[in-house]
Structure 1
């Protein structure tokens, strides 16, 4: 065997290592060159190709939950319609921004071209409504009333209508069961905005560009429960739009259903009776102004006394919530938001505020007792009461002599309350109040819940106003400069008032307290506040937070969340005072100011309690108020520029009570006692109407 020298072996190993190194270096150079070729020389080309492969989301909107009345009748649900939509992104790529396409589309749909253009323009600070306030990347609905023939024309001639789609889609429907409009309670929907999408990104229920959300009423208050969650499937697609795989899938969750305490039969009756009362008032002559009453707006609230649940809530003028479905045209929008129609979008049951007049008097009655006055004491009911040189008249200048507080409530004697309020004002120091005045009359109003929201589950409730010392000071600071500029000591009436306010507007004057004691002056209340107060008088003194929602039921019916009544206070009176006041308010209906409206009422079987109110408003005709309760319900009605409480509002309230209890024919009673049960829920989740 031949032996190879050690030096020879070493040389061969070295050559091999050098060869391997050269090979590795060559591979690295080749790889580097290829990377340079792909990323530098042809980088833009390949980046463009890679960009063509992306993820496309397909969104399946969730079915919005229904809103049902207490018996299961749908107040708001969904129906399938043919919806024609436009892609603004596609239209903006055209030389004329899609004007020719939209004009041709208007011809097919039988619509005015300007109306179609309005619906696709984006809302901003300079663009008048109607306009699209949703995402510009979302298909914009042109109409949800397309016929099958119109939709077929658009789809068969797709090349003539680029960016236009015609698809069946679920849209909101407000069905008005039993002819109950319920518009202000239900509210309406409109598209989500980019700002709202961004604001909800980190929430439990983020918004998508295809979502519609509630803008008012129950649609807004319970939007997250009703809306559900849309299903989103993400697909990987290439630059040609071909699907190359599924990236992710999130199944949708249908919205829950909302069962309300509203009875659509009672709601319809309240709306009809309110409208009839307003029409009747417009035929009545107002001696104070020399014209007929205008009766320009009104509201009625029917509330369960023991729970605060709303059985009916009517507001007039009203509107059709279906006007908002599928987009609203400019003419309708102007009508709904204009002064000429007197702003029908307002829910006057929770947003209409005015002086309450004499339905306020249970408050100063309780205040007087709390201040140490005897409920059964003797108080002079004269035809007028003078303070300084100013004379304050009793209503219709009637005198009843010496009477107790109960009788003062029955006959609505103003001068009894004038005297009590003036005396308490003096006890607190008058113009120069003591350091800590008792302010019983103002303190008691706050304890009754006035000057604050009731907490009703509807948006945009207003607080009303208790014109106490703090309010006087704040109001004076806000208006002092204007008063001082306008005021003149010897000028016209308005200028003299401005002069006095400039100098003394921060002071609680005797006249302020006297006017306040009968629900006049600067006092403002809402119908929902007064209904809550009278319901508390009925139930023993508990102030409940009013609610319209009664239960939230999942789409499959397996989860039912009952919205329990919530108390937020007690009336500031002892049981003895409440019982005495209860008897007095029953006397209003049997021998007092409302007795002539309750002839034939079964008082022994269903005790009725009432209080009339006629509030004076500077520059306007009197506001009519009528507040009532039985052991089951409290009903309050008001009518702006409608006349007296017993004359204008009482007949409508009496008609609702007659129907509730079936007075004259018990078999026809709509709701002789409040509905306690929920509608029947079937195994598949459907809520069955009774």
Structure 2
């Protein structure tokens, strides 16, 4: 009996414990519900609401790019763009996803395979360069651009058939091409922001960039991207579980980008491009008596600068490309062509990135170095048909001889042997010890003073620095390449190695570090391993024209905000001075006039009114092993510098003389032998210092010119 009572008591105790536990659990549950619904109810309500509201980025309208007269070079147009939201797409089953992409491909006229490749993030397995998505992984991916409006409306009006598909109007770049200009290498192009760039912008708290941004990749589009891109807005929209838009929920307006005013003149640019293209076409149809075939004329460039400011008025390069090719995404095939050597590497801007031996256009700078280091304007040297250095004869062009002449006449007739003697003299007196890499060399020093061997500082990305092939460069190049060439020379010559390469390798392996007399005489006429860009050469001639100032060439003149107010004015920037005495600059100026009036450029300027428009010029024909000569004309007036070169096109004046004349005719309004100021390409001959006028209604008018007699 006692045992039974004890068991009953224990059962009741267990029941009480269970009841207490159950009560505690209910109390905890009720407390939690009270906390969630009352204490933090507002927070969770907001979170729940946010799951049905999506922020859609409203891209700003990118700023315009205009020329010095206010003519539009780059504008914007509206385009219907169809995109796919990969987040929503990922929630679908494989079969439904496949059906959707097939249906979308049929409607927008893009292959299903291409759409699928476009949806793969670049760098992931299966990504294809030029077709993959390199933007934010959280942004809808554009799969079709410039879609017809009826197609876009079908996508919008039938969301049940196109879940995860968006259709919206976006602004894309447009190129009005005033006077038919191309200007691709100056303007540049856009492409989607990469994930790395997006992450960097996030880290820097840069709100002007987002996962759907496009950014400048070349030219002024890249250089001034921060000003042109504007500030994005945001539109909050309610969506259902499949991402379909149900309605608006607020908007923050986007701020348009600023307008970039350049110093380019579209009319002059059009003339320069036409003349460069015509020169290349003409030379390709011209027989080369040296190589016994037509000239290849494979590339070329032309630059027009304001002599007194260094501003770029025109800049052209061939081969070129159509900047429209990048709008809406470039195809893999077209991208490969732009990088292809067989197509001439169209993406390479020869004016700033092409590097070529300058030939005889180099001689004015060698003259300056000589006249400030022991030689004088009274110096007379022999212009013989050849000049022997060691066991090798260095020849004058076409073996012509002019007797004993001065520097001025040597420039007029472009006498090589005259400058061979100058270069050899300095080498013999100051640098004949080939082991002395620090030997003084006035000609090398002068070239560096004129800015060669370093970037000009032009406001374009990717500029090449050129090369001064002095003693230090040659020693460094030897250290870099000796193992390669010694490897060739140490083996028996095989069928893949030409006699020239095998002989060169053997000589290089033994004494490739030595800066010998042959290097010095070649340097004096712009041959050998020294290379320059056309823009470097133009800037250096500009320093002779303006009295000795080297400018950093500038394309941009100002940044103007959406309200028409100047945000930033970009002044000409002085990079330094060449430090030449006035009498030396004056002597060079007179000698280069002689090149035009009675020297190597005269036959192309017959009948031109040189008494009214005084053109100073220097021609050049640079020899390149295994190729035809590169033709140069470098010239200037009181107002402008004009430089043109065409690779593998023959002599300087023979290839470029007519084109350079035509450019000056346009600049000064020359018809026949008369100058008509009313016919100048730029009203008033030289562009005014003032900017175009931005009116309240958004129009851009040419700069207002001051009337005569006003301050």
Q: 1:140 to 1:607 in 2, by over 3 A?
A: same
Aligned counterparts, 1:610-621, within 5 A: 610-621=617-628
Shift of 1:689: 5.0
1:609 correspondence with 2:609: no
Q: TM-score, normalised by structure 1?
A: 0.90
1:682 correspondence with 2:695: yes
Shift of 1:75: 0.6
1:361-405 deviations in Å (ceiling 9; x for gaps): 111111111221113311111110001101100111100111111
Determine the C-alpha separation between the residues in 1 that align with 2:241 and 2:157: 26
Q: Are the equivalent residues in 2 in contact too, given 1:317–1:344 (CA < 8 A)?
A: yes
Residue 92 of structure 1 corresponds to which residue in structure 2? 90
Aligned counterparts, 1:58-207, within 5 A: 58-94=56-92, 95=94, 98-124=97-123, 127-201=128-202, 202=204, 206-207=208-209
Residue 297 of structure 2 corresponds to which residue in structure 1? 295
Residue 479 of structure 1 corresponds to which residue in structure 2? 481
Q: Are the equivalent residues in 1 in contact too, given 2:558–2:567 (CA < 8 A)?
A: yes
Shift of 1:28: 10
Identify the match of residue 510 of structure 2 among 493, 497, 503: 503
Determine the C-alpha separation between the residues in 1 that align with 2:384 and 2:661: 31
Determine the C-alpha separation between the residues in 2 that align with 1:569 and 1:445: 14
1:549 correspondence with 2:556: yes
1:659 correspondence with 2:666: yes
Q: Are the equivalent residues in 2 in contact too, given 1:197–1:206 (CA < 8 A)?
A: no
Q: Are the equivalent residues in 2 in contact too, given 1:51–1:239 (CA < 8 A)?
A: no
1:648 correspondence with 2:655: yes
Q: 1:510 to 1:242 in 2, by over 3 A?
A: closer
Structure 1 stretch displaced more, 648-657 or 236-245: 236-245
Q: 1:241 to 1:497 in 2, by over 3 A?
A: closer
Shift of 1:313: 0.6
Identify the match of residue 527 of structure 1 among 534, 559, 565: 534
Shift of 1:439: 1.2
Q: 1:543 to 1:307 in 2, by over 3 A?
A: same
1:634 correspondence with 2:635: no
Aligned residue pairs total 660
SS where residue 614 of structure 1 aligns? strand
Q: 1:574 to 1:488 in 2, by over 3 A?
A: farther
SS where residue 568 of structure 1 aligns? strand
Structure 1 stretch displaced more, 361-370 or 214-223: 361-370
Residue 345 of structure 1 corresponds to which residue in structure 2? 347
Structure 1 stretch displaced more, 260-269 or 662-671: 662-671
Determine the C-alpha separation between the residues in 2 that align with 1:79 and 1:220: 20
Q: Are the equivalent residues in 1 in contact too, given 2:66–2:74 (CA < 8 A)?
A: yes
Q: TM-score, normalised by structure 2?
A: 0.87
Determine the C-alpha separation between the residues in 1 that align with 2:29 and 2:586: 99
Structure 1 stretch displaced more, 151-160 or 273-282: 151-160
Q: Are the equivalent residues in 2 in contact too, given 1:557–1:686 (CA < 8 A)?
A: no
Q: Are the equivalent residues in 2 in contact too, given 1:489–1:495 (CA < 8 A)?
A: no
1:222-262 deviations in Å (ceiling 9; x for gaps): 00000011123568999898999999975532211000011
Determine the C-alpha separation between the residues in 2 that align with 1:187 and 1:411: 40
Q: Are the equivalent residues in 1 in contact too, given 2:233–2:253 (CA < 8 A)?
A: yes
Residue 30 of structure 2 corresponds to which residue in structure 1? 34
1:531-566 deviations in Å (ceiling 9; x for gaps): 101111111111110011111000101234221000
Determine the C-alpha separation between the residues in 2 that align with 1:353 and 1:642: 16
Residue 388 of structure 2 corresponds to which residue in structure 1? 386
Q: Are the equivalent residues in 1 in contact too, given 2:118–2:131 (CA < 8 A)?
A: yes
Identify the match of residue 232 of structure 2 among 230, 233, 239: 230
Structure 1 stretch displaced more, 101-110 or 268-277: 101-110
Shift of 1:38: 8.2
Shift of 1:673: 2.0
For structure 2, the 5+ residue unaligned runs are 1-21, 37-41, 494-498, 704-711
SS where residue 444 of structure 2 aligns? helix
Determine the C-alpha separation between the residues in 2 that align with 1:47 and 1:654: 76
Shift of 1:425: 0.7
SS where residue 352 of structure 2 aligns? helix
SS where residue 261 of structure 2 aligns? strand
Q: Are the equivalent residues in 2 in contact too, given 1:119–1:130 (CA < 8 A)?
A: yes
Q: Are the equivalent residues in 1 in contact too, given 2:316–2:351 (CA < 8 A)?
A: yes
Q: Are the equivalent residues in 2 in contact too, given 1:53–1:238 (CA < 8 A)?
A: no
Q: 1:243 to 1:642 in 2, by over 3 A?
A: closer
Q: 1:682 to 1:518 in 2, by over 3 A?
A: same
Q: 1:572 to 1:488 in 2, by over 3 A?
A: farther
Shift of 1:120: 3.1
Determine the C-alpha separation between the residues in 1 that align with 2:566 and 2:23: 66
Q: Are the equivalent residues in 1 in contact too, given 2:164–2:242 (CA < 8 A)?
A: no
Shift of 1:203: 5.3
SS where residue 346 of structure 2 aligns? coil
Determine the C-alpha separation between the residues in 2 that align with 1:435 and 1:461: 28
RMSD: 2.9
Determine the C-alpha separation between the residues in 2 that align with 1:81 and 1:582: 54
Shift of 1:52: 3.7
Structure 1 stretch displaced more, 169-178 or 223-232: 169-178
Q: 1:50 to 1:271 in 2, by over 3 A?
A: same
Aligned counterparts, 1:430-509, within 5 A: 430-432=432-434, 436-487=438-489, 492-509=499-516
Structure 1 stretch displaced more, 586-595 or 146-155: 146-155
Determine the C-alpha separation between the residues in 2 that align with 1:564 and 1:370: 32
